[in-house]
Chain A
Amino acid sequence: MSALIIFGLLMMLMLTGMPISIALGLTVLTFLFTMTSVPIEAVALKLFTGIEKFEIMAIPFFILAGNFLTHGGVAKRMIVFASSMVGHWHGGLGLAGVLACALFAAVSGSSPATVVAIGAILLPAMIKAGFPKSFGAGVITTSGALGILIPPSIVMVMYAVATNTSVGALFMAGVIPGFLLAMFLGLTTWYRARKNNYPRQPKASVATRIKAFRDSMWGLLLIVVVMGGIYSGIFTPTEAAAMSAVYAFVVAVFVYKDMGLKDVPKVLLNSASMSAMLLYIITNAVMFSFIMTNEQIPQTLAEWMLAQGLGPIIFLLAVNVLLLLAGNFMEPSSITLIFAPILFPMAIKLGIDPIHFGILMVVNMEVGMCHPPVGLNLYVASGITKMGITELTIAVWPWLLTMLGFLVLVTYVPELSLWLPRVMGML
């Protein structure tokens, strides 16, 4: 009963268009004022302590690093490199876009940021090269989603925080699914480009490729800093995020020199503002899940579901449908933070691996980012291409279908996610 009231209220408030964080917060307050004996001061306390966790601090650091990379010319050099490698195949710059997104995803933790970094440079170039606008928009919108699947990933940090799983193991679990999805998206691009005979790049010489690689190497090295740093035990994930921010700053300002020292405060401010927005959602979502726990809602739901005799297969199907529905209205951080604490106890009771569950949630979030009415990647792409959302929606369909197929694969083949962290001894 209280679950229905809580969710009904939340839904109503969200539909007024107020920020999701405020809607979450007001739901909690209303509930506290009217229906529980939890002292109201606990709310203010949770608003501070809700994010008082070192793991969460990876988020601002990764955002900062991402901003330095975007402004510092790293994305541009990755595109040139990707294009020199695969630009001559069917799909040309489109295929290069998929590869560049995958490379950038390996240094950035956010999907919209990946769309911006790669799309803002590549999309105008694709149009100039003679690709239909919709093709380019479709490729980049969906490939940009790799940003949260290929580590590092802000959404994985949020899942880890919401469910107390290991950030490091989640990152490692995302590697193989990330590669696979990039390959599937590339295949879709290749197939459509071949069918429509889209333009290709001339084959780059070996010398050109080597030069492009060397130019982009400073950016690519960040993969070593983050993943290598975590797995060799030099850093904790949060420290790795901080180091990558410092590294990205050095590369942008002193190595590539695409950015001057005078631009640094602006990047800091923008990153702080973006991080604050996410941290604000986290705080309110933490309060929301605290209320749910206090009312024993996840526990009750889990018991109810077990009593129905639901097996893992049906449960995972239901989870995917539920999350895809949620993806219609909300962005990934909020979905993860609201739903993970509720679904997680059920998944555990059914014997589903927490890491596998996290990866399937992330892939599901990727799909949600690419379709309307609410899809951050779509908005970003629309901002870059000046295309309408409806037009873009049609443009992304072929890749979105690929992603849905991939979601089924990841959901029902846990080994895709679990094999690598297991051989690395992280499970």
Chain B
Amino acid sequence: ADPIVIKFSHVVAPDTPKGKAAEKFKTLAEEKTKGAVKIEVYPNSTLYKDKEEMEALQMGAVQMLAPSLAKFGPLGVKEFEVFDLPYLFRNYDDLHKVTQGDIGAGLMTKLETKGVKGLAYWDNGFKVMSANKPLKTPDDYKGLKMRIQSSKVLEAEMRALGANPQVMPFSETYQALQTGVVDGTENPPSNLFTQKMHEVQKNATVTNHGYLGYAVIANKDFWEKLPEDVRTGLDEALKESTDFANQIAKEENDKALEAVKASGKTEVYTPTEDEIKAMQKALAPVHTEMADRIGKDVIESVYKATGFDPSK
């Protein structure tokens, strides 16, 4: 019989961690289902753009995606915006307690009411702040035009720092930084480096203030109608490619940060403990400000899982 074709569309280049993980998933899935499925990976928004892929998935026009977690707020599952909260996760261990534990699974279930089947969380990494001046204390952000992706949480985060958030598509960011339309931005190091943004930013600070991650999702009806054995094969492939994705994401981000330092084009600053404390303090109000939106219970369950104490 002809293999079942799964179109897997994403919006980044094939050589990024997510792009590589998608290719890895393709290989593993085709292998584990013994050719019962054929995965067609469409990178770089060749099939659907950032703004339309979710609707396309809901309609069944594409079967699998790996959008950034920030995309689920507009879908109506605002609980996912918890991942954008500044300084909620201290490190990958904290994070994986959530994404690979019950909370993560619970959030994925919420997607089902939207016709979406959540399958796995893939890391990108923790973000650094960059601009054309040193960013040490919250005061340094005052009045800066900071590029963010569309997100109410990130907007609140930048406002809490006194910056002027500018929502701008990722594709326009390099040019905007280069010409000075915006002063700075926040990115995991791998994005900063692969987009060459470090060439047009003088300073970067390893604040690790926020997390950027993706969820692998499928059209729910499509997924549930797959033969049992095929789904088992795909689940295995997902599990292995998730480990792969998270591992290379970490590697690539570490490598990228070293490469940025080595380039000499951006001065990379690692803040002291006190400076981090000051940032945490400035950004703490964002948690309360966003509690109504995201859901107090979700935020608190994350606090509990990671042992985070908001009063500190």
A adjacent to B, CB under 8 Å: yes
Which residues does A use to contact B, with CB under 8 Å?
A: 37-39, 41-42, 45-46, 49, 52-55, 164, 166, 168-169, 230-236, 239, 290, 293-294, 425-426
Chain A binder among B49-57, B114-122, B236-244? B49-57
**A168 in contact with B56 (CB, 8 Å):** no
Query: A231 — which chain B residues lie within 8 A by C-beta?
Result: 179
**A236 with B61: CB separation less than 8 A:** no
* Stretch in B67-75, B136-144, B169-177 touching the partner: B169-177
B52 CB, nearest partner CB in chain A, Å: 4
Q: A233-B179, A293-B47 are in contact. Are A39 and B172 (CB under 8 A)?
A: no
State A235–B179 Cα separation when bound (angstroms).
9
* Contact partner, B169, options A37, A45, A54, Cβ 8 Å: A54
A194 to chain B, nearest CB (A): 44
Interface assignment of B305: CB less than 8 Å from any CB of chain A: no
- How far does the alpha carbon of A426 sit from the alpha carbon of B196 in the complex, in Å? 12
Asked if B181 is at the interface of the complex by the 8 Å CB criterion, the answer is: yes
Contacts of B310 in A (CB 8 A): none
A54 to B166: give the CA distance in the assembly, Å: 14
Chain B 149-203 residues near chain A, CB threshold 8 A: 169, 171-172, 174-176, 178-181
Q: How large is the interface on B (under 10, 10 to 19, 20 to 34, 35 or more residues)?
A: 20 to 34
CA distance A166 to B173 in the complex (A): 11
CA of A425 to CA of B196, assembled, Å: 12
Q: A42-B61, A45-B56 are in contact. List 4 more A-B contacts (CB 8 A).
A: A169-B175, A230-B179, A290-B47, A294-B47
Q: Is the CB of B285 closer than 8 A to any CB of chain A?
A: no
The answer to whether B178 touches A45, judged by C-beta atoms less than 8 angstroms apart, is: no
Q: A45 with B46: in contact, given A168-B179, A234-B181, A236-B172 (CB under 8 Å)?
A: no
Query: What's the nearest-Cβ distance from chain B to residue A91, in Å?
Result: 39
Contact partner, A232, options B45, B60, B180, Cβ 8 Å: B180
- The verdict on B262 contacting chain A, using a C-beta distance below 8 Å, is no
Asked if B259 CB lies within 8 Å of chain A CBs, one says no
**A391 CB to nearest B CB, Å:** 46
Chain B nearest Cβ from A172, distance in angstroms: 11
B226 interface residue (CB < 8 Å to A): no
Q: Are A49 and B52 in contact (CB under 8 A)?
A: yes
**Residues of A contacting B44 with CB < 8 Å?**
164
Could you tell me if B59 and A168 are in contact, using CB atoms closer than 8 angstroms? no
Residue of A nearest to B40 (CB): A296
Given A45-B56, A231-B179: A38 in contact with B61 (beta carbons within 8 A): yes
User: B51: which A residues are within 8 A, CB to CB?
Assistant: 49, 52
- In the bound complex, how far is the Cα of B181 from the Cα of A55, in angstroms? 15
For the complex, what is the distance from the CA of A425 to the CA of B200, rounded to whole Å?
Answer: 10
User: From B177, which residue of chain A is reached at the shortest CB distance?
Assistant: A233
Which of B46, B59, B169, B176 makes the CB contact (< 8 A) with A293?
A: B46
